[in-house]
């Protein structure tokens, strides 16, 4: 159901993009908008991971610079039957994480140093399993494409104001153009956020199955949200369009699911994970690598000590 919902929302985003183009310049505008969207999506497909990692200030780490953390990620990926992603760290005190990349073979996961300091190995494994689930479902590409299209719709709406012809040629005249400038980007943002919320629930479910312990991820989500509310993430504040990529909104806490939130309510996510824990066999369904025990998690440090 989650994948069908995402497909429908993506189709709505594409239709909105072409509709804005049609309102500006008829069929020609719709065609031009379609070509622009295709070009931007192609560019995003090949370059999104590099751009996101650069914008967040992420630095690559390996088994020499962060041995325990990298071994944890590699172990989860191996047990899930996935290619090992590249691993990055972001030097900020706010606990958070995200995944990026065009496909599982060309993916990366990034965590903040604050996340490694504040979470136990069990909680951290739940978070990284969640990010691996995003990679498995190719959510990283989906969210990059929707962010690109949302930005393009805003740009196209602004172009329509300046280059859309005379008032007589514009549907609704000047009032219609102003409404287009305001409502089209708002509609695109709502669709983008709806896709983001849908994919977070799916990644929670799959991540819990990968690590085998829904309560690990549930505990991590609560701890991250509590800390993120009072700690500024400078890179996220400079690039708010990337907020939807993080496991918890890095800009501010969200109290409930609503049209204008990039993430579901943490309370709702925790409740869903706890239902998985209570369902017989839910956390141990046949996913390679499920059931990672605390003793199998590399001990890079507890909350009382720093990670490498």
**Catalytic sites, residue numbers:** 131
Furthest C-alpha separation in the chain: 72
In this structure, which long-range contacts are made by residues 280-283, counting pairs with CB atoms below 8 Å and at least 24 apart in sequence?
Answer: 282/209, 282/214, 283/208, 283/209, 283/212, 283/213, 283/214
82: left (phi over 0), alpha (psi -120 to 50) or beta: beta
Sign of CA dihedral 184, 190, 193, 198: negative
- Supply the DSSP string of 211-255, one letter for each residue: HS-HHHHHHHHHHHHHHHTTS--HHHHH-GGGGGGBSS-SS----
User: SS3 string of 27-95?
Assistant: HHHHHHHHHHHHHHHHHHHHHHHHHHHHHCCCEEECCCCCHHHHHHHHHHHHHCCCCCCEEEEECCCCC
């Amino acid at each position: 159901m989650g994948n069908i919902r995402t497909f429908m929302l993506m189709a709505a985003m594409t239709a909105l993009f072409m509709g804005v183009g049609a309102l500006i310049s008829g069929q020609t505008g719709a065609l031009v908008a379609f070509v622009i969207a295709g070009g931007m999506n192609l560019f995003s497909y090949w370059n999104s991971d590099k751009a996101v990692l650069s914008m967040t200030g992420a630095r690559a780490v390996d088994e020499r610079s962060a041995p325990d953390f990298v071994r944890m990620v590699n172990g989860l990926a191996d047990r899930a039957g996935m290619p090992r992603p590249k691993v990055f760290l972001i030097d900020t005190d706010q606990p958070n994480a995200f995944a990026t990349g065009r496909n599982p073979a060309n993916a990366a996961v990034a965590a903040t140093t604050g996340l490694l300091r504040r979470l136990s190995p069990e909680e951290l494994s739940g978070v990284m399993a969640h990010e691996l689930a995003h990679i498995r479902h190719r959510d990283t590409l989906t969210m990059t494409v929707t962010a690109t299209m949302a930005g393009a719709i805003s740009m196209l709406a602004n172009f329509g104001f300046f280059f859309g012809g005379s008032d007589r040629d514009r549907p609704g005249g000047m009032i219609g153009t102003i409404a287009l400038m305001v409502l089209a980007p708002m509609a695109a943002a709502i669709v983008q956020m709806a896709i983001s919320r849908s994919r977070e629930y799916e990644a929670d479910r799959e991540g819990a199955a990968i690590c085998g312990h829904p309560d690990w991820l549930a505990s991590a989500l609560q701890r991250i949200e509590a800390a993120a509310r009072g700690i500024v993430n400078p890179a996220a504040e400079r690039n708010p369009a990337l907020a939807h990529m993080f496991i918890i909104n890095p800009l501010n806490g969200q109290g409930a699911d609503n049209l204008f939130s990039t993430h579901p309510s943490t309370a709702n996510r925790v409740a869903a994970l706890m239902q998985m824990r209570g369902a017989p066999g839910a956390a141990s369904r046949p996913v390679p690598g499920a059931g990672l025990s605390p003793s199998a998690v590399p001990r890079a440090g507890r909350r009382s000590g720093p990670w490498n």
